[in-house]
Structure 1
Amino acid sequence: MSRLLVLFSVWLFTLGCGAETPAPAALPPAADPVSAPAGTRRFLALGDSYTIGQGVPAADRWGVQLAWLAQAEGLQKPDIIARTGWTTEQLREAIVAANPPASYELVSLMIGVNNQFQGLPLAEYRTDFRELLQTAIRLAGGRPGRVVVLSIPDWGQSRMGRSYSQAAISQEIDQFNDAARQECAAAGVAFLDITDLTRATSYDPAQFASDGLHYSGLHMQQWATRALLLVRRLVQ
């Protein structure tokens, strides 16, 4: 691929992602049932545009939906360190700058799609991911059992993904996810595969945000529902 075509592809992907909008300092409260207990378990979500929920209301973010579903477990709405376009290196730097306390009852990590899209080496991703995993464990009070990693979605199945080689994207996504799964197993951290859900969208507009690349609240509800069963075991 020529340099001009690569630059054009990156420009196109950036348009689809939108501006790198930082997550707000505080999220609006979810609609809690009257009988629900007050949240007592702090939740930190680390990642990129998928963690922010690019293009959807804050209440539709998968982590916020998970907190609403896990009210009985006392899970609070997540604090978020994430931004659209972040690679593993940028997330690592942002965590250092934010210096969050190592006192969370649950920490989620979902990162790597921008490494894959930018063509960064898989070996580099593995090294960075391993470090991020150890950081997530530290922020969970040194408890690997309170960390959950979500797999990288297959954006090749989105409307925007039609402009690229879907087979190549899927293959690379699988390679990155395999590396993350192996590192999670070595560290004793739960790995939650949601990639199959993103491959079953069938280009349905209801499954995507208005940019045709990121996911709708309706779709991310599937991530939250799948995560709920795992999280209930992790925080019990």
Structure 2
Amino acid sequence: MLLLLLAIDATSCNKKVIMTEMPTITPVTPIPLPTPTPIVFKSYLALGDSYTIGQSVDSVDRFPAQTAAVLKQQNINIVPLQYIATTGWTTTNLANAITSVNPKGPFDVVSLLIGVNDQFQGRNIDDYGGRFLQLLQTAVQLAGNQPSHVFVLSIPDYGVTPFGGNNPAISQQIDAYNTINRQITQSISGVHYIDITPASRLAATDRTLVAIDGLHPSAKQYKLWVDQLAPQMAAVLK
């Protein structure tokens, strides 16, 4: 745009026309604010024994708690994180406890890890499959009858710990129990099977993977389990 300015020369009285160009002002486009990532709230029920309740580690270091912490970093808040698990429980103990507690589902995700005390107490392995199947079916029901929201963890091998004395017979028995719970898990389409037994056997050469009691996993070992569990759980919850 041109602005015409008239100026009068005081000495000559001649009129001069001075043409001045006005600066062009470029409008500023506002920078859009990022859309906040929505925070998702989900519920998690952890079923099991000492490996689930985290014997000999702090409560924040249990594998379900560590899993919840990882999920929170992805804006998935586990509220509440509920446990039905106690050190020493067999499949029978867990089934009775679930009946007694009568948890109010459905839960968005359910994990199940059970069987080591059946082996430790020398119970008949042939009976383990039936009891485990009932527990797995209960877990599916508690997950709102959504099998893909149930996560079974294999039994870790305590035979490689100082308590187990690197006893190969224990390891063989753990393998036999895991063969059963794996086959039953895979018979229900959609249920996830997390094989953490190989990670537990790293404790044979890395004692930092064993808790101070010489038997149960340390927080460091639980983190190895979480590295397998959390991504699969996140995929279901997103």
TM bucket (normalised to shorter chain) is 0.7 to 0.9
Tell me, yes or no, if structure 1 residue 114 matches structure 2 residue 135.
no
2: CA distance, partners of 1:171 / 1:105: 34
Higher Rg: 2
User: Using the alignment, how far apart are the partners of 1:118 and 1:93 within structure 2?
Assistant: 18
One-letter code aligned to 1:98 = V
Question: Match for residue 70 of structure 1?
Answer: 71
Q: 1:156 aligns with which of 152, 155, 159?
A: 159
Deviations along 1:67-96, one digit per CA (max 9) or x if unpaired, are 111122514162000000000000000000
* CA contact 2:59–2:65 (8 Å) conserved in 1: yes
CA shift in 2, pair 1:173/1:75, >3 Å: farther
Q: Tell me how far apart the structure 2 counterparts of residues 37 and 155 of structure 1 sit (CA, whole Å).
A: 41
Show structure 1 runs of 5+ residues with no match.
1-34
Aligned equivalents of 1:201, 1:231: Cα separation in 2: 25
Post-superposition Cα deviations, 1:129-154, rounded to whole Å, max 9, x if no partner, equal 00000000000001101000000000
Q: Which residue of 2 aligns with 1:55?
A: 56
Work out the CA distance in 1 between the residues paired with 2:172 and 2:112: 21
Is residue 158–residue 203 contact of structure 1 (8 Å, CA) maintained in 2?
A: no
Which residue of structure 2 lines up, in the alignment, with residue 101 of structure 1?
Answer: 104
The number of residue pairs the alignment matches comes to 200
Find the aligned partners of 1:39 and 1:74 in 2 and give their Cα distance.
5
Tell me the TM-score normalized by structure 2: 0.80
Q: Structure 1 CA distance, aligned partners of 2:167 and 2:37? A: 44
Q: 1:75 to 1:147 in 2, by over 3 A?
A: farther
Which residue does the alignment assign to 1:212? Answer: 214
Question: CA offset at residue 47 of structure 1?
Answer: 0.1
Deviation readout 1:127-180 (Å, 9 max, x if unpaired): 000000000000000110100000000000101110xx7211111111111110
Deviation at 1:232, TM superposition (A): 2.1
Structure 1 moving runs of 4+ over 3 Å: 35-39
Deviation at 1:126, TM superposition (A): 0.5
- CA deviation after TM superposition for structure 1 residue 103, in Å: 1.3
Look up the match of 1:5. none
SS at match of 1:187: coil
Partner amino acid for 1:204?
Answer: D
TM-superposed CA distance for 1:121, in Å, is 1.3
Distance (whole Å) between structure 2 residues aligned to residue 196 and residue 211 of structure 1? 21
CA contact (8 A) 1:49 1:84 kept: yes
Distance 1:202 1:122, change over 3 A: same
Match of 2:199 in 1: 197
Matched residue type, 2:123: L
Distance (Å, rounded) in 2 between the aligned partners of 1:63 and 1:195: 17
**Counterpart-to-counterpart distance in 1, 2:224 and 2:207:** 16
2:63 is the counterpart of 1:83: no
Determine the structure 1 residue equivalent to 2:26.
none
Question: Percent of aligned pairs with the same residue?
Answer: 41
Match in the other structure for 1:229: 231
The one-letter code matched in structure 2 to 1:59 is V
**CA RMSD of superposed structures (Å):** 1.6
Structure 2 portions without partners, runs of 5+? 1-35
TM-score (norm: length of structure 1): 0.81
- The answer to which structure, 1 or 2, has the higher relative contact order (CA under 8 A, 6+ apart) is 1
SS at match of 1:41: strand
Structure 2: distance between partners of 1:138 and 1:124: 22
Report which of the two has the higher share of strand: 2
Match of 1:21 in 2: none
Q: CA deviation at 1:233?
A: 2.5
